[in-house]
Structure 1
Amino acid sequence: MGSALYYPRVIPEALSKKFKITIVDQRGFAKRLGTDVEKESSYDLDLLLSDFSFFQKQLEIPPCLVLGHSGHGYMALAYAKKYPELVKQLLLVATGPSHGAPLQERESYFETMASVERKEKHQRLQYKFQRQIQREPEGLEDFFNLYCVSQDALGFYNLSIDSTLLWEGVKTNKLAFDHLFGKLFVEIKVEDYLSAIKCPITIVLGKYDFQVAPHYTWDPILQSFPGVKKFVIEECGHLPFYERPKEFLFVIP
């Protein structure tokens, strides 16, 4: 679940050889062609889930492993709860407990864990991003893409990585992300989903992922769900399957 343009660029060959992978755009990544007025209700979570269900049935994909990366992990959780007959296993990758209170912990985690070089690169990228915003007072056309690039020092363990080309051509709808990631996923209660889902659940996190809540913020929640498996990959950021494909393949179902 996510961008059908972005994710093929970060899925390694080792993963594509082991699995038959189908990537489905969520509405926030699709260019709007209609003339109707864009509203928050256009991006209600239930509508996104029905989109995913439609594609799974249309493509005749049997019950399968569903992977949600980052904020799309919440979509995967909700999908497994609403359509249990379509989900065989659930894999959450680089997803924090929510975009609310647990996310606040990442600042102190970054301050403690990040090297001087990482902090300096993050400052440079933030300065560059602010300059880009100032040059376009009417609003950056590719705001989300440029924002993601500005987070490279938070998301990649390897500081030499520049994600600019990974985001090239990706279209996003700001209202969709403001509604889903800025509201719904701030307030989401993952416990309500974990308690309702019967299929096996695995969570894979990068130790040096500073884009979402730190890996340990899951621990108080998972004490109530001992069946959920959690793995933390060393020397890894926000994209475990991209930066550490061998380790990722070792821990996934």
Structure 2
Amino acid sequence: MNNNQSVISDEFELNYCIKGQGTPILVVGSSVYYPHLFSENLYEKFQFIFLDHRGFVALPRTLTAEDYTLDKVLNDIEIARQSLNLNDFIILGHSGHAFMALEYAKKYPRHVQKVILLNSAPTNSEERQQQSFSFFNKTADSERKRQFEKDIALLDRDIQKDPERRFVHMCIRMGAQSFYDYTFNAAYMWNSVYTNMPIIDHLWGEAFGKLNLIQSLNDLNKPVFLGLGRYDYLVSPVSLWDSVDDTYINVTKVIFEHSGHNPMFEEPQLFDNTLIEWINER
């Protein structure tokens, strides 16, 4: 099944794309971007539902401060869940969307079976962002650093030409911090991805900086899969998660040694096998 539809929440038209059949996995983020990252193998075993949040859709009206809040995003997800009649599902959040997935599972736990968190730091505070950048400067090899400097030098030009896609340009130009293969160009994945920058700026710049996923895990009794990439310099180092150890009996933490920010794309066979085993056994 491959279906593209939309649901209306608070006047925002949230598109969703359905791929595959089986246990539903709701992927919060962009319905255009995220289908690129997962393998056809997974679509043969599970039903992936890729759902936009309001940071990836056109503005329906003039925004108020209330429209930016994480609570509004969580409510959007719940409206979509009801519309899709999801009564026993897995929620997945990658990168910044991990905050949305975990906070949703805490606020609306009734229908959530399990939670998948991929490639996020525990917090997006400014201090943590500086820590990640320092880790990159101290530990990345010289070729990777040269590639990063070459790419990031083009970012200002990209933004000046197309300021409304600032988030997209940043993601593309930071490829040397995002991928194990630091020469990989992910620009094609972002084609036709719409970005609503006022909402994205608030969520990533403010809301996610005030949250801490490790603290939030203490308030959740659902099974959690935590996937990290050893070469994911965007949210590095993986040691930020060291306190999530065997005492977190509901959390399965997996570090993918040859991946950056997208192990489902970079190590698909290992990622698929690991995730399938976790879903089926817990």
TM-score (normalizing by structure 1): 0.92
Q: Is the contact made by 2:115 and 2:222 (CA closer than 8 Å) also made in structure 1?
A: yes
Aligned ranges for residues 1-253 of structure 1 at < 5 Å? 1-32=28-59, 34-35=60-61, 37-100=62-125, 101-133=127-159, 135-136=160-161, 140-222=163-245, 225-252=248-275, 253=278
**Matched AA of 2:230:** K
Q: Which amino acid aligns with 1:127?
A: A
Alignment size in residue pairs: 248
Worse-matched range after superposition: 54-63 or 102-111: 102-111
Q: CA deviation at 1:224?
A: 5.8
Structure 2 gap segments, 5+ residues each: 1-27
Describe the superposition over 1:194-241 as per-residue Cα deviations: whole angstroms up to 9, x where unpaired: 122111011000000011132110113557634322110011010110
Equivalent pair of 1:3/1:24 in contact (CA under 8 Å): yes
- In the aligned structure 2, how far is the partner of 1:27 from the partner of 1:180? 11
Question: CA shift at 1:114, angstroms?
Answer: 1.7
Amino acid at match of 2:190: W
Q: Return the letter of the residue paired with 1:3.
A: S
Structure 1 stretches of 4+ with a deviation exceeding 4 A read 221-224
| Contact persistence 1:96–1:103 (CA under 8 A) | no
Question: Quick one: distance in 1 between partners of 2:263 and 2:204?
Answer: 21
State the distance in 2 between where 1:86 and 1:213 align: 32
Q: Distance in 1 between matches of 2:251 and 2:266?
A: 24
Is the Cα contact below 8 Å between 1:14 and 1:245 reproduced in 2? no
Whole-Å Cα distance in 1 between the matches of residues 178 and 207 of structure 2? 22
C-alpha separation between the residues in 2 aligned to 1:15 and 1:115?
Answer: 33
Q: 3-state SS of the aligned residue for 2:49?
A: coil
CA RMSD of aligned residues (A): 1.7
- Provide the rounded CA distance (Å) in 1 between the counterparts of 2:104 and 2:192: 27
Instruction: Look up the match of 2:6.
Output: none
TM-superposed CA distance for 1:245, in Å, is 1.0
Paired residues of 1:156 and 1:236 also in contact (CA < 8 A): yes
CA distance in 2 between counterparts of 1:203 and 1:192 reads 14
SS at match of 1:22: strand
Per-residue deviation, 1:108: 3.0
Instruction: Kindly state the Cα deviation for residue 191 of structure 1 after the two structures are TM-superposed.
Output: 3.9
TM norm structure 2: 0.83
Higher relative contact order (Cα pairs below 8 Å, separated by 6+ residues): 1
Give unmatched runs, 5+ long, in structure 1.
Answer: none
Equivalent AA in structure 1 for residue 145 of structure 2: K
Q: What is the DSSP-based 3-state SS (H/G/I as helix, E as strand, rest coil) of the residue aligned with 1:157?
A: coil
Q: Give the stretch that moved more between structures: 37-46 or 2-11.
A: 37-46
SS at match of 1:84: coil
Offset, 1:158: 1.3
* Alpha-carbon distance in 1 for matches of 2:88, 2:237: 31
Letter in 2 for 1:73: A
Aligned-pair identity (%): 32
